[in-house]
Structure 1
């Protein structure tokens, strides 16, 4: 029979062995917490596997006891994880090695998360992003809604639509500044890459190089470099590879088949108000310069063919129009990291990019100078 003292020593030994194994495994973290009025008896833990397509992989189900307590140790590398409850409430976590994430609250709407500086940075970023978007973009959209109710002049609304697009670019620049100034080499940088653009490529490239120096062998390090490579494909000076997509008659139209001096590749959708407003400007440019060597290759990120075709007719989009009706899952959209609309790329006859994301009066002036 084992004595009580012997049993006690065995427990101590087991505990020390567990600590020893944990300390040798760099990729370990703990998730625990107490949510008083939680009705769930389990929580799903998943890992973000693709930021652009928002794909996640289920890792585990955390058991929750009757008092709302849960606790689990994981031997997984630093990454972006999420806890999902049965009511579809999701908490996103940026977890680095050795962290003990604690989640405490009386209900799902009032939770305090501690133990992870990376998760805190991610929450700070999201708070800043929402505030910036509200100030620069949502405020403009609200003005447009009010003007529509008042049946105001369409020209005034069109100007605000252009301002909305310009302000969104400022918004993206503000997000890049936040990452550069506040986030260092935090794991939380990975989900921010969804809103990176080629205009800030030099800054973003340095951010990724610094990230690699701290996290050289992580899966998300590789993904960040892949994101940089995608942005390089749409930066000025790069050459666009051939695009093959079906038009409204299901005929395959190749970008390489266009023999114009300059081609504007226009990413848009019928549900995008700024895109629809820009149709007027594109119409005027097309009429003025089509016979001088200007073409438009319109790529719709619609998912509904009827709405796409209706928009083509109503907006008089008489240039080349193509779509696979797969939305942002369209192959060319993922290949060129298109995450917002409208987005455009202007190429010369050799397929070389000479401008990206210029709209409104700036686009008009740029095209005019090309044909002076």
Structure 2
């Protein structure tokens, strides 16, 4: 009897030792960086924040930890302008970063098979996010893609339909929780609704309220000095402003900058001669959140009563819309 008990204890000990680790191990290799620091960064609201760091030794590094569920993280050395993005899940993962410090290969990670297999494709205009979600209703990766890239690309009704396809166990993910908040926000800023009130500091630090512009057509123009598409659109906004400024129309610029000097310089460089407001909180801008802004440039056109009459009208559509309203 004692012999059988000993065998049973030995088997149990072996099974326990062989059990899969509860946390993650990231074994990394850099093709062209042999020394220095590398940082592991968590993702929130289009921003990355340092959560760990380690020394690179002979082009290799290791991170260990634990995540509640597969989640987007970044890796960044001092030579990288932007973090390399990938999903961390509780597994022993190998991450190989190529010479260009951008291309990445990850093994032993089903989450990254899905993420890296679609990370570039989701940026294409004709990408079918509905099909991806339908085939991956239990995947945090699919939830991330919908939240990150499609809240501003698909109509609200379609967004709600796709959101409803996810399995209930994903409701606790930060991606779906944030997506649900965005959907609730978008419900409040549909065309025909009164624009939410707010107040922000102008370039001199004086608080300016939206309601102070009542009686005019107002274009709320969300932009930032660091945003190349915004800077390319600015000449069109300038031309439109100059054309209609004497016809009961104005522009209110709302910047997602965080560096005031760069914000002010861009205003001068681009000849933006209208009212400018910002809380200098980058993507944590409270007004951007209030209006469900997830990509810039973005804009909302209000009538003299503060009712939303159009959204995201750019290039030729901007002056054409105002021509119809103000003729």
Task: Pick the TM interval, shorter chain.
Answer: 0.7 to 0.9
Other-structure match for 2:141: 188
What TM-score, normalized by structure 1, do the two folds share? 0.65
**Aligned pair 1:223/2:223, yes or no?**
no
Assess if the C-alpha contact under 8 Å between 2:48 and 2:74 holds in 1. no
Secondary structure, in 3 states, of the residue corresponding to 1:265?
strand
1:191–1:270 CA distance, 2 compared to 1 (3 A): same
Note the C-alpha offset of 1:243: 2.0
Counterpart CA distance in 2 for 1:180 and 1:4 is 59
Note the C-alpha offset of 1:7: 5.8
Note the C-alpha offset of 1:205: 2.0
Note the C-alpha offset of 1:178: 3.6
- Give unmatched runs, 5+ long, in structure 2: none
Other-structure match for 1:14: 13
Assess if the C-alpha contact under 8 Å between 1:328 and 1:338 holds in 2. no
Other-structure match for 1:352: 307
Counterpart CA distance in 2 for 1:291 and 1:318 is 14
Counterpart CA distance in 2 for 1:371 and 1:358 is 16
1:213–1:328 CA distance, 2 compared to 1 (3 A): closer
Secondary structure, in 3 states, of the residue corresponding to 2:215?
coil
Counterpart CA distance in 2 for 1:225 and 1:34 is 35
1:36–1:11 CA distance, 2 compared to 1 (3 A): farther
1:221–1:70 CA distance, 2 compared to 1 (3 A): same
Secondary structure, in 3 states, of the residue corresponding to 1:369?
helix
Assess if the C-alpha contact under 8 Å between 2:41 and 2:48 holds in 1. no
Other-structure match for 2:111: 118
Q: Deviations over 1:298-318 (max 9, x none)?
A: 112334434433443444433
1:83–1:297 CA distance, 2 compared to 1 (3 A): closer
Matches within 5 A, 1:17-166: 31=25, 48=43, 50-55=44-49, 57=51, 74=66, 76-82=67-73, 84=75, 92-94=85-87, 100=91, 102-103=93-94, 112-129=105-122
Note the C-alpha offset of 1:73: 8.8
Assess if the C-alpha contact under 8 Å between 2:38 and 2:78 holds in 1. no
Assess if the C-alpha contact under 8 Å between 1:212 and 1:221 holds in 2. no
The range that moved more, 282-291 or 198-207, is: 282-291
**Could you say what the CA RMSD is over the residues aligned between the two structures, in angstroms?**
4.5
What TM-score, normalized by structure 2, do the two folds share? 0.73
Counterpart CA distance in 1 for 2:166 and 2:160 is 10
Note the C-alpha offset of 1:345: 0.9
Secondary structure, in 3 states, of the residue corresponding to 1:236?
coil
Counterpart CA distance in 2 for 1:245 and 1:226 is 22
Counterpart CA distance in 1 for 2:6 and 2:255 is 70
Assess if the C-alpha contact under 8 Å between 1:103 and 1:111 holds in 2. no
Q: Deviations over 1:9-56 (max 9, x none)?
A: 423223556889x8xxxxx6665768699979x9987654x2333346
Q: Deviations over 1:47-101 (max 9, x none)?
A: 54x233334656xx99x9x9x8989795x532305475877886655467xx755
1:120–1:232 CA distance, 2 compared to 1 (3 A): farther
Assess if the C-alpha contact under 8 Å between 2:201 and 2:277 holds in 1. yes
The range that moved more, 328-337 or 185-194, is: 328-337
Aligned length: 316
Note the C-alpha offset of 1:249: 2.4
